[in-house]
Each structure stands twice: as structure tokens, then as C-alpha cells.
């Protein structure tokens, strides 16, 4: 039984997702309406150059009590969108933030899995492809190999009981991020989060999910040496905590 006094915001950074954002919003809102406590959806529009912002603003008229938007005039990066979402929710005294992707590679039906953990006193719940019941579906083999290897290294170094460190589908207790300014502009902010959570003695848990390959639009994530360095510097740095 989830405590009704708790509150949750789903935060979705978005950039140029006009083809799917309306569907994503509808599916997420449907799940939030079934939750037994105060919940909302916060879209961080990261400088979209298509009709994404217009579509979201139309959706706000449909879901005025649930849907909110933060607009960036220019693209600032996934990390900046995450930080903006955190600051927005802390100001509104929301207890937990659940981050998910805009392209339905994360299944909105899994929101209830996270919500069911809220009264268990965890500080970070990570979705995982690498525990029993979790998997990746439709993802190219080479990407699976790279991800698995990177996560084996990161998991060993962080040593917080998380096997799928790079998964961006995660829920965090916002109290743990008060007076913290995340510095990463891009996707490595996911690893920066774990570093600060470990530093603050956070309690972690993983839940199994199926990560799907996106069917619409184009991913903004690209593999490179710089990305690997920026991801792995945080687990290495955490060895000195």
C-alpha cells in the first residue's frame, strides 16, 4: 500500500519528438491517474525546433491538472533538462521524481512498479535490464555488448548494488538532491546522480524492466570515446568516497 501523503512527478526531457510526444503524454497520464497519491507529469522541452512545444501546450489544455511544461529556447542538453526538472519539483515540495525517455522505449505501464516502492524507503530505484525478469528488446547486438560491458565496469566500481547503472529510467528521492547542482550537460548526468547518491549514503534498489528500441524518430545518444570517459569517471571517482 503506497502512502497517500507522498507525491511523484514523472520528468521527461524532450527534443524534437513531434511524431510521438502526444502518444507518450497520453500513456503516461493514463498511468498517473491510477496512482493513489498526488502525481504529475513535467515535460522539459529542450529547445525543440519542430512542433513538439505546440503539441505539448495543446495537451496541457487536455490535462491541466497533471501536465506541466518547462521550455528552453535553445537546446541545453539532457543533463540540463534533468537539473531543471529536479529544481522545479523541489520548489513544489514533490517527494520523488521518476525520469523516463520521451520515445516510449520505457513502458509507461512500469510506472506502477516504481510507485509501489515509494513506501519502502529507498532513495533511488533503477530500472534494470540485467536482473532476473529484465531484458532489452529489439536493440542491436553491438549496442547490447557495449552497454553490458560498460555496466559491468561501472557496477563493480560504484558498488552500490546496481547492475544497470546507465539506465535512464529511474526514480529518485528529491531530498537527496537539495543543495546539489548537477554539472553534466549530457547523458552522463545519470552516472553523476549515482555518484552524489552514493556520497549521501543513499539506499538503492533495482526493478526488472524491458527496454525497447525506439521505433519513431532518431536517438540523440551517440557512442564515442568522450562519452565513455564522461560516464566512467564517476564510478572511478566514487572509489574515494
pLDDT of 142: 87
Owner of C-alpha cell 505546440: 54
Owner of C-alpha cell 516510449: 104
pLDDT single digits (tens) 81-102: 999 999 999 999 999 999 999 9
Whole-structure pTM value: 0.94
Alpha helices for the chain (secondary structure H): 21-33, 52-62, 78-91, 111-115, 141-158, 189-199, 225-237
Asked if residue 222 has pLDDT above 90, the reply is: no
Measured distance CA(135)–CA(130) in Å, rounded:
7
Longest dimension (CA), the chain: 49
Provide CATH code, domain 7-240: 3.90.550.10
pLDDT of 212: 87
Measured distance CA(223)–CA(202) in Å, rounded:
29
* Share in percent of the chain as helix, strand, coil (round to 5): 40, 20, 40
A 10 A CB-CB count for 23 gives: 14
pLDDT single digits (tens) 6-38: 999 999 999 999 999 999 999 999 999 999 999
User: Is the separation of the CB atoms in 239 and 157 below 8 Å?
Assistant: yes
Asked if residue 230 has pLDDT above 60, the reply is: yes
Banded model confidence at residue 220, pLDDT cuts 50, 70, 90? low
183-210 b/e (C-beta count within 10 Å ≥ 16 → b): ebbbbbbbbbbbbbbbeeebebbbbbbb
Domain parsing of the chain, residue ranges: 7-240
Amino acid at each position: 500500500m503506497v502512502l497517500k501523503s507522498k507525491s511523484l512527478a514523472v520528468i521527461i526531457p524532450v527534443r524534437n519528438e513531434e511524431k510521438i510526444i502526444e502518444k507518450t503524454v497520453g500513456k503516461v497520464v493514463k498511468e498517473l491517474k491510477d496512482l493513489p497519491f498526488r502525481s504529475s507529469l513535467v515535460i522539459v522541452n529542450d529547445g525543440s525546433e519542430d512542433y513538439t512545444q505546440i503539441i505539448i501546450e495543446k495537451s496541457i489544455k487536455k490535462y491541466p491538472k497533471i501536465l506541466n511544461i518547462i521550455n528552453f529556447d535553445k537546446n541545453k542538453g539532457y543533463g540540463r533538462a534533468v537539473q531543471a526538472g529536479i529544481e522545479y519539483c523541489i520548489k513544489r515540495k514533490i517527494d520523488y521524481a521518476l525520469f523516463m525517455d520521451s520515445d516510449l522505449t520505457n513502458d509507461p505501464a512500469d510506472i506502477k512498479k516504481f510507485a509501489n516502492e515509494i513506501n519502502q524507503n529507498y532513495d533511488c530505484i533503477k530500472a534494470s535490464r540485467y536482473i532476473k525478469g529484465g531484458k532489452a528488446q529489439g536493440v542491436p547486438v553491438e549496442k547490447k555488448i557495449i552497454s553490458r560491458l560498460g555496466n559491468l565496469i561501472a557496477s563493480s566500481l560504484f558498488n552500490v548494488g546496481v547492475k544497470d547503472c546507465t539506465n535512464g529510467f529511474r526514480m529518485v528521492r528529491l531530498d537527496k538532491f537539495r543543495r546539489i547542482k548537477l554539472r553534466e550537460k549530457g547523458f552522463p548526468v545519470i552516472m553523476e546522480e549515482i555518484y552524489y547518491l552514493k556520497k549521501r549514503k543513499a539506499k538503492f534498489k533495482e526493478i526488472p524492466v524491458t527496454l525497447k528500441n525506439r521505433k519513431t524518430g532518431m536517438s540523440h545518444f551517440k557512442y564515442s570515446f568522450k562519452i565513455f570517459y564522461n560516464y566512467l569517471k564517476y564510478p572511478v571517482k566514487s572509489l574515494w568516497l
